[in-house]
Homo-oligomer: A and B are copies of this chain.
Amino acid sequence: MAAKSSLKTPKGTRDWVGGDLLLRDHIFTVLERHGGTPLDTPVFELGSILSEKYGEESRLIYNLADQGGEACSLRYDLTVPFARWLSMRSDVQHIRRYQIAKVYRRDQPAVARGRLREFYQCDFDIAGVYDPMIPDAEILCIIVEVFEALEIGVGVKINHRNILDGLFEVAGVPADRIRATSSAVDKLDKAPWDEVRQELLGKGLTEEVVDRVGGYVQRRGGMREMFASLGSDAELAAKKTLMEGVADMELLASYLEAMGVVDKVSFDLSLARGLDYYTGLIYEVVVDGTNQPTQVGSIAAGGRYDDLVGMYGRRPLPCVGISFGVDRIFTILDARRKKKSSSNLRGQAEVYIMAFGGKEFEGLLLERMRVARQLSGAGIRAEFSAKVKPKPLQQFNASEGVPVAVMLGQDELEAGQVRVKCLHVGDKDAAKDKGQLIPRENLVDEVRRLVAGTP
């Protein structure tokens, strides 16, 4: 038997119930609208599938215990399982897929800010060989449309791995410190430059190199303006991979202009993304508003990862995609919605079946059951009191929130009639409304009409 003190969910996890789940479902519905092919993968993968994909973050992977058989780990994101699936399905040359599922990270949880150890991600990815930057532009367009639909004001920060790595090389960062420099720079959205500067010095870079890095990565601005600034620097302009990155970004900008979303996007040279597998464009979505920009961190992020599928040894396949942080989006929308009754645990019954009678009232339970079965057989969600002889007040209380009532009485039943009524119409006349008496055989049609007419 469990001790009382251990009656809880594991650290960093939570239960979801009632109204909270309905809000989460609303988020899913918006995300699904951008569709593509749905994919669902197992919650755990072979350990070898996940290894060497996440760099430093690998220490946060949950492993299953060795109980004999294969070594397995809980999925850390939805990108690596998608790449694994693409490697196995070599018949798939082009696909737009989406997946909504929980992922697992042994991180320090901060539940109030929507940071959990078990959390939902929604991923949308485009895999296949296409003309440059067209799928990338589509993904950015989807990001903008999703947050428009959710009515959350956001900005999308973008950068390009080739540009970032090129800048570091020009600044004099040794090749073996590029990723470490990148991950230090990525903290610039939460920490001031001085702090990042100290970290870089601690990694063995010289003051001169660090200050050149600082000069580059603190630039940000509109896309066109940034291209001009990068192109006018002779040292940068001589760096081939860097200028290829700039050319990608210029093409992207023209597409974003055509799609009318370019004003949502800013070019931010400090954006680096921690994960190892990105190879080109990278992006991160942050909530508008200067007073609480980092409270929930980024609420969506992604990029291009052209080499990940090839790492499984069967064939290369370029991909680009986005992960939406469903729980962080939930935290924002939840804070905004009007607080309803704290225990919003009612189901969604459409009809409540009651029975009333005089002194010798026997409860009419079998009749209530017959009517319930008739209605639910017709696809109408019906409930009734699970008491043999329920009191009128008990039945009215139990019907709270249900739009329609069917009321049974012995005399009326004997005359082949039942009473139907709209509940909670919200004005004073409601109490006086006795509903209407209808022939028993019209019950399903009449209830359907009333349910359809209620808000």
Query: What residues of chain A have their CB less than 8 Å away from a CB belonging to chain B?
Result: 1-4, 6-11, 13-18, 21-22, 33-46, 48-49, 51-52, 62-67, 69-70, 72, 74, 84-85, 87-88, 91-92, 95-97, 102, 104, 106, 118, 126, 130-131, 134-135, 137-138, 141, 145, 148, 254-255, 258-261, 311-314, 343, 345-349, 365-367, 369-370, 372-373, 376-377, 379, 381, 383, 386-388
Contact = CB atoms under 8 A, between A and B. Distances in A.
Contacts of A261: 373
Contacts of A104: 43
Given A17-B37, A347-B35, A141 B373 contact: yes
A8 B386 contact: no
Given A134-B386, A348-B35, A15 B85 contact: yes
Contact of A314 (B4, B17, B63): B4
How many of these chains are in the complex?
Answer: 2
24 contacts: A2-B311, A2-B312, A4-B313, A7-B314, A9-B41, A10-B72, A14-B42, A15-B39, A15-B41, A17-B37, A17-B39, A33-B381, A35-B349, A44-B118, A62-B64, A63-B67, A64-B74, A65-B66, A92-B343, A131-B386, A134-B387, A137-B369, A255-B369, A261-B373
A2 B63 contact: no
A34 B349 CA distance: 9
Contacts of A379: 33
Nearest to A132: B388
A70 B11 contact: yes
Contact of A65 (B17, B65, B343): B65
B259 A370 contact: yes
A376 B13 contact: no
B6 A49 contact: yes
B38 A17 contact: yes
A148 B376 CA distance: 12
A8 B44 CA distance: 12
Contacts of A96: 347, 383
Contacts of A63: 64-65, 67
A46 B40 CA distance: 26
Contact of A22 (B1, B4, B38, B95): B38
B388 A131 contact: yes
A63, A126, A254, A258, most chain B CB atoms within 10 A: A258
A299 B373 CA distance: 22
A51, A63, A65, A365, most chain B CB atoms within 10 A: A65
B22 A42 contact: no
B13 A39 contact: no
Contacts of A40: 15-17, 21
A382 to B, nearest CB: 10
Contacts of A365: 134, 255, 258
Given A18-B38, A52-B1, A311-B1, A67 B33 contact: no
A37 B7 contact: no
A12 to B, nearest CB: 9
B138 A386 contact: yes
Nearest to A118: B42
A398 to B, nearest CB: 8
Nearest to A59: B67
A39 B19 CA distance: 10
